[in-house]
Amino acid sequence: MGCLLDGTILKTLIVYASRYGYTSDCVTKLAGKLHGEVTTVNIDKEKTSDLEQYDNIVIGGSVKIGKIQKSVIQFCETNKVLLLKKKVAFFISCGDQNHMQYLNGAIPEELLTHALSVQSFGGEFKTDKMNFIEKKMIDMIKKSTVKEGKSLPVARYENIDIIAEAINQ
């Protein structure tokens, strides 16, 4: 599995950003489900190179106080023309059920329309990488979320399979 007709191996790049590690964990799971050769790049720590070599490019990040990482937005803007020539999918980690509110306006509309799939991986509060202020912020977010009758972030690992299926087709 994961070969083109001429026998060359399909190549997928997953470009992502993760503040506290939940998205990184999801990327590891996604990479394990994709056919062919998979390269993962945490865009806040490493550079991407020679994007032309990839057949598929999957892009994702996480939301903090209403915003996805700037590095993810910048990657999409800089590489828009190239991305429109590839099989592309997007994912986002967030607590809110309406994940599109964070992508619309941040990621070029043409790219979102071009994407094979745009999914939410849900979210998790991973406190081990948080500082004191961030932990306090979590307590406040949890209280106000419950007060407003909204649900706290839940992992939606099933949507990792949806992205994998779309890319593996």
- Which stretch, 14-22, 35-43, 44-52, 108-116, contacts ligand FMN (CB under 6 A)? 14-22
Distance CA(121)–CA(68), nearest Å, equals: 14
Which residues within the stretch 95-134 sit at the binding site for ligand FMN (CB under 6 A)?
95-96, 123-126, 134
Which residues within the stretch 22-41 sit at the binding site for ligand FMN (CB under 6 A)?
22-23
Nearer to ligand FMN, 54 or 121 (CB): 121
Helix 158-168 to helix 22-33 angle (10° resolution) is: 40
Q: What letters, b where the CB count within 10 A reaches 16 and e where it falls short, cover 144-156? A: eeeeeeeeebeeb
Q: Does 60 bind ligand FMN (CB under 6 A)?
A: no
Q: How far is the CB of 129 from ligand FMN (least distance, A)?
A: 8
Q: How far is the CB of 24 from ligand FMN (least distance, A)?
A: 6
Distance CA(119)–CA(90), nearest Å, equals: 6
Binding ligand FMN (rule: CB under 6 A), the pick from 3, 8, 29, 64 is 64
Q: Does 72 bind ligand FMN (CB under 6 A)?
A: no
Binding ligand FMN (rule: CB under 6 A), the pick from 15, 59, 76, 94 is 94
Q: How far is the CB of 98 from ligand FMN (least distance, A)?
A: 8
Where does the chain show beta strands of DSSP type E?
Answer: 11-16, 37-42, 56-64, 67-68, 87-93, 117-120
* Cβ contacts of 94 within 8 Å, gap of 6 or more: 62, 63, 102, 120, 122, 123, 153
Distance CA(156)–CA(23), nearest Å, equals: 11
Q: How far is the CB of 11 from ligand FMN (least distance, A)?
A: 24
Residues that bind ligand FMN (CB under 6 A): 18-23, 62-66, 93-96, 123-126, 134, 137-138, 153
